Structure 1
Amino acid sequence: MPVKSAGKTAARKPTAGAATTVPPFDLAPAPVVLLAGSEEALADRAFGALLARMREADPAFERTDTSAAGYQKGQLATWTSPSLFDERSLVVVDGVDAAGDAFVEDVLDYLRAPVETVVLVLRHRGGNRAKKVLDEARAVPGVAEVSCQPLKRDQEKVDFVLGDVRRARRKIDLEAARALVAALGSDLGELAAAVDQLLGDTDGTVTEDAVHRYHGGRREATGFEVADAAVAGDEGRALVLVRHAAATGVPPVLVVAALASRLRQLAKVAAAGRGRAADLARDLGMAPWLVEKAQREVRALDPERLAEAILAVAAADHAVKGGGTPPEHALERAVRVVAAARR
Structure 2
Amino acid sequence: MVTPATRSTRAPKTTGNIVFWRDVEPAPIVLITGPEDFLAFRAMERIRNLLRQREPDLERTSLDASEYASGQLELAASPSLFGEAKLIEVTGLSTMNEDFLNDTVAYLSAMAPDVTVVMHHGGGARGKKLLDAVKAGGAPVVDCQPLKKDSEKVDFVNREFRDARRSIEPGGAQALVAAVGSSLSELAAACSQLLSDTEGPVGPDVIERYYGGRVEATAFKVADAALAGRGAFALSTLRHALATGVDPVPLVAALAMKLRTVAKVAGSRGSSAQLAREFGMAPWQIDNARRDSAGWTPDALIRAVKITADADEQVKGAARDPVYALERAVTIVATSVSRR
TM-score relative to the length of structure 2: 0.90
**2:299 aligned with 1:304, yes or no?**
yes
**2:147 aligned with 1:180, yes or no?**
no
Cα offset, 1:45, TM superposition? 1.7
What are the equivalent positions in structure 2 for 1:208-247 lying under 5 Å apart?
208-247=204-243
| Residue 97 (structure 1) aligns with | 94
| Residue 84 (structure 2) aligns with | 87
**2:269 aligned with 1:281, yes or no?**
no
| Contact 1:305-1:340 within 8 A present in 2 as well | no
**2:300 aligned with 1:295, yes or no?**
no
What's the % identity of the aligned pairs? 48
Structure 2 unmatched ranges of 5 or more: 8-15
State the secondary structure of the residue aligned to 1:35: strand
Cα offset, 1:131, TM superposition? 3.4
Aligned residue among 35, 59, 71 for 1:74 = 71
Letter paired with 1:104: L
Cα offset, 1:301, TM superposition? 0.8
Moved more, 38-47 or 172-181: 38-47
Cα offset, 1:85, TM superposition? 4.4
CA RMSD in angstroms, aligned pairs only:
1.8
CA distance in 2, matches of 1:259, 1:299: 17
Cα offset, 1:340, TM superposition? 2.1
| Aligned residues between the structures | 329
Moved more, 188-197 or 36-45: 36-45
| Contact 1:233-1:342 within 8 A present in 2 as well | yes
Aligned residue among 30, 43, 49 for 1:46 = 43
CA distance in 2, matches of 1:101, 1:184: 41
| Residue 14 (structure 1) aligns with | 2
**2:45 aligned with 1:57, yes or no?**
no
Cα offset, 1:290, TM superposition? 0.9
CA distance in 2, matches of 1:56, 1:214: 34
CA distance in 1, matches of 2:87, 2:296: 58
State the secondary structure of the residue aligned to 1:321: helix
1:64-110 per-position Cα deviation (integer Å, ceiling 9, x unaligned): 11211122333322222333444321111111112133322222222
| Residue 10 (structure 1) aligns with | none
| Contact 1:21-1:147 within 8 A present in 2 as well | yes
TM-score relative to the length of structure 1: 0.90
State the secondary structure of the residue aligned to 2:317: coil
Cα offset, 1:273, TM superposition? 2.6
Structure 1 unmatched ranges of 5 or more: 1-12
CA distance in 2, matches of 1:308, 1:220: 25
State the secondary structure of the residue aligned to 2:90: strand
